[in-house]
Chain A
Amino acid sequence: MKTWKEITPGAVILEPGSARKFKTGSWRAMKPKWIEENCIHCLLCWVYCPDMSVKVRDGKREQFDFDFCKGCGICALECPGKKGQKAIVMEQEGK
């Protein structure tokens, strides 16, 4: 840990993207569960996620990044699913 003599004045963070080092997933009480067979890859979950916890590759969504997902449930709320079946549901953490 840095001493008071080593810190930047005014707590300015000079390293871009350093928030990646501060994993916030442990704050979670509820956990989103991705049900792949119901997913139409509309990517609304990716749009609505307030963090960057929905991983996407080649236009298709992948598993959540649980290092940063705080379990807010917005993705589950917005998910249109397939034929009335949600592709994201919320579960109790640690279940």
Chain B
Amino acid sequence: MGKRVAITGNEAVAQAMRIANPDVCGAYPITPATDIMQRFTSFVSNCEVKTEMVLTESEHSAMSACIGAAAAGGRVATASAAQGIALMWEMLFVASGLRLPIIMGVANRALAAPLNIHGDHSDGMGMRDCGWIHFYSENAQEAYDNMLMAFRIAEHLDIRLPVMVGLDGFITSHSIETMSMIDDEAARAFIGEYKAVNPLLDIKNPKSIGPLILTDMYMEFRKAHDAVMARVPGVVLEVAAEFEKISGRKYGLFESYRLEDAEIAIAVMSSAAGTTKDVVDSYREKGIKVGILKPRMYRPFPYEQMGEALKHVKALAVLDRADCFGGSYGPLFADISNALYPNQQKPVMINKIYGLGGRDYMPDQAEYTIDELIRIAKDGKVKSIKEYIGVRG
């Protein structure tokens, strides 16, 4: 069953793309995702894949090339980050609205201004409502696994939606970690052959793509999109169960870490979850019942399942690596609040904004948060619902 390797998160994503052997990749470089397509182009040059690389003049064009190729009937993948995602934003809606199963690795990075190239979830949150399926990965292993599963989920005949797989810029994208690669043959068999649906290149059956849909039909297409999104969790779990058979690794819609008997909990995504797990372990040794919920599938957001998993805790801190400006809370906090709202029983919640622009998330920040949760669980008193942590002044 495969081999242990020491590679960066970006290489892990590129390796998953190599296995999928896309027909076309439209791409434009942007830090910290450049490295994904750079490594992938070496697979193209070395004839390890049969992909047509389309090097465009912008990310808007890169996503447009992906859309054209996917509409033509090809398996398509790309990678981007930050300003690149922001520039392709218009086309992200087109990709999902046309129901094209495009796969995009995203090395999550902060948005300018001020200009910053480091790890942050602002780019992923900016494309949150674009109708794509979103996954966030804690480390290189998860980025690789999520990418492999992304092809299966996106291309599933009941779904046919684009999928983005996030990994933290630099923290995961450029750090070398050991991880298990699946044997190529087994991984290829898992992903399977691409089945084109209504391809434009089927010239014997002419068709039009991207028509004007006005007041009489637009709402029906949006309702259909919503209905497809509702089918996604079932397919994600089905694909995860099959993936476990070839990898031995188990995935859900989110990860519960020491959460079942927890009295207090932290919800945190991506690489910061790893740091938080270490701190939680040390608190558990002291007899403090603390657990973690780590979102994996961010869109569609598993509201009901997450509400069930968190309703029993007394106090919950949600950590956001992005802020929603306008005096409100972070995006993950808002989503988890929504998840808990229908429950009679629910925790007191606080929101910490951390790690923006790649600011280090250190164990002492997790300790600070857990100590506050312990106090809230005792007396129920919240000083401030939202707080920036790891910030000066």
Q: Which residues of A contact B (CB under 8 A)?
A: 1-5, 7-14, 16, 18-19
Tell me the bound Cα distance from A12 to B211 in angstroms.
8
B207 lies within 8 A of A11 (CB): no
Q: Which residues on A sit within 8 Å (CB–CB) of B393?
A: none
Tell me the bound Cα distance from A5 to B220 in angstroms.
8
What is the chain B residue whose CB lies nearest that of A1?
B216
CB distance from B92 to the nearest CB of A (A): 14
- The A interface, classified by DSSP as helix, strand, loop or mixed, is loop
- A7 in contact with B98 given A13-B208, A14-B207 (CB within 8 Å): no
User: Which of A1, A9, A14, A18 meets B205, CB within 8 Å?
Assistant: A14
- The B interface, classified by DSSP as helix, strand, loop or mixed, is loop
What is the chain B residue whose CB lies nearest that of A7?
B220
User: Which of A10, A11, A13, A18 meets B160, CB within 8 Å?
Assistant: A10
Q: Which residues on A sit within 8 Å (CB–CB) of B391?
A: none
Q: Interface size for chain B: under 10, 10 to 19, 20 to 34, or 35 or more residues?
A: 20 to 34
Q: Which residues on B sit within 8 Å (CB–CB) of A1?
A: 216-217
CB distance from B76 to the nearest CB of A (A): 14
Q: Which residues on B sit within 8 Å (CB–CB) of A4?
A: 219-221, 223-224, 227
Tell me the bound Cα distance from A36 to B160 in angstroms.
54
A13 lies within 8 A of B224 (CB): no
- A9 in contact with B197 given A4-B227, A14-B207 (CB within 8 Å): yes
Q: A11-B217, A13-B208 provided; 19 other pairs, C-beta below 8 A?
A: A1-B217, A2-B217, A4-B219, A4-B221, A4-B227, A7-B221, A7-B224, A9-B99, A9-B198, A10-B100, A10-B198, A10-B209, A11-B210, A12-B208, A12-B209, A13-B209, A13-B211, A14-B198, A14-B205
Interface residue? B97 (CB, 8 A): yes
Tell me the bound Cα distance from A75 to B108 in angstroms.
52
CB distance from A70 to the nearest CB of B (A): 14
Q: Which residues of B contact A (CB under 8 A)?
A: 97-100, 160, 197-198, 205-211, 213, 216-217, 219-221, 223-224, 227-228
| 28 CB < 8 A contacts A-B | A1-B216, A1-B217, A3-B220, A4-B219, A4-B220, A4-B224, A5-B224, A7-B220, A7-B221, A8-B198, A9-B99, A9-B198, A9-B224, A10-B97, A10-B98, A10-B198, A10-B209, A11-B209, A11-B217, A12-B98, A12-B198, A13-B207, A13-B208, A14-B198, A14-B205, A14-B207, A16-B207, A18-B208
Q: Which residues on A sit within 8 Å (CB–CB) of B98?
A: 10-12
Interface centre among A5, A13, A19 (most CB of B within 10 A): A13
CB distance from B69 to the nearest CB of A (A): 15
Q: Which residues on B sit within 8 Å (CB–CB) of A18?
A: 208
Q: Which residues on A sit within 8 Å (CB–CB) of B213?
A: 11
B211 lies within 8 A of A11 (CB): yes
Tell me the bound Cα distance from A79 to B346 in angstroms.
75
Tell me the bound Cα distance from A61 to B221 in angstroms.
41
What is the chain A residue whose CB lies nearest that of B227?
A4
What is the chain B residue whose CB lies nearest that of A14?
B207
Q: Which residues on B sit within 8 Å (CB–CB) of A7?
A: 217, 220-221, 224
Tell me the bound Cα distance from A21 to B267 in angstroms.
54
Tell me the bound Cα distance from A38 to B224 in angstroms.
54
What is the chain B residue whose CB lies nearest that of A13?
B208
Interface centre among B97, B198, B227 (most CB of A within 10 A): B198
What is the chain B residue whose CB lies nearest that of A10?
B99
Tell me the bound Cα distance from A1 to B217 in angstroms.
8
Q: Which residues on B sit within 8 Å (CB–CB) of A3?
A: 220
CB distance from B59 to the nearest CB of A (A): 22
